[in-house]
Amino acid sequence: MEYINDADFETRRWREARLIYNSALKEIGTKLEILNDEFQHVHKYNPIEHIKSRIKTSESIAKKMKKYGCEPTIENVVKYVNDIAGVRIICSFTTDIYRLAEMLERQSDICVLSVKDYIKSPKPSGYKSYHMLVSIPIFLSERRVDTKVEIQIRTVAMDFWASLEHKINYKFETKVPRHIKDELYACARMVSELDAKMLSLNEEVHSLLP
């Protein structure tokens, strides 16, 4: 008989959990590729510039559980950490963001658990992005697991700003000097203006084409 200690058992369970979350990312990725291909076929236009996906590291998960004051068990992690599996979709224009969100919502096997629209209501820092928390079924050999995935949809300009903000917060451990915060906020306003101008220019170009 094989005896398994608690540490080995938890390690195996975490490996299975990672397999399930990775599978969820593959499912979402395939759906997005199909939707993008269909959009190209119908409208001769690709709304998606590129897609990034990742599984949250064990260290990041542990920090989040400590912040929540919960024991870092598999059950608690699955219950309380919503962004273990994350997908970021980068678009050219703000209109693409809402088109993609609607297309995802119409998928019969995707359940939208929550939406945070930081485009219409930006964070105080100036951060803009469209967040969806969804659940998608993963079918294993003997069971179905409904798995949460966080989807972020933003423009190229929004992504550039958010990436810089993240690096600055990491370097200063969130204690960012006031003048740098002010500069970032000013840049966020410029990003919004750039997105609006690029969208207007794109619409004008299409209106002039036969």
What residues in the chain have per-residue pLDDT under 50?
A: 1-4
Q: Would you state the pLDDT for residue 1? A: 38
- Angstrom distance (rounded) from CA 146 to CA 138: 6
CATH number, domain of 84, equals 3.30.460.10
Within a domain: 123: yes
pLDDT digits (tens, 9 = 90+) for 76-109: 888 899 999 999 999 999 999 999 999 999 999 9
How many structural domains are present in the chain?
A: 1
pLDDT tens-digit readout, 181-193: 999 999 999 999 9
127: helix, coil or strand? coil
Helices 178-208, 156-172: axis angle to 10 degrees equals 170
pTM of the model: 0.89
- Give domain status of residue 186, yes or no: no
Residues designated catalytic: 150
Q: Where do runs of H (alpha helix) occur along 58-177?
A: 58-68, 74-80, 94-105, 156-172
> Rounded to 5 degrees, what are φ and ψ at 152?
-115, 130
Q: Which domain holds residue 91?
A: 6-156
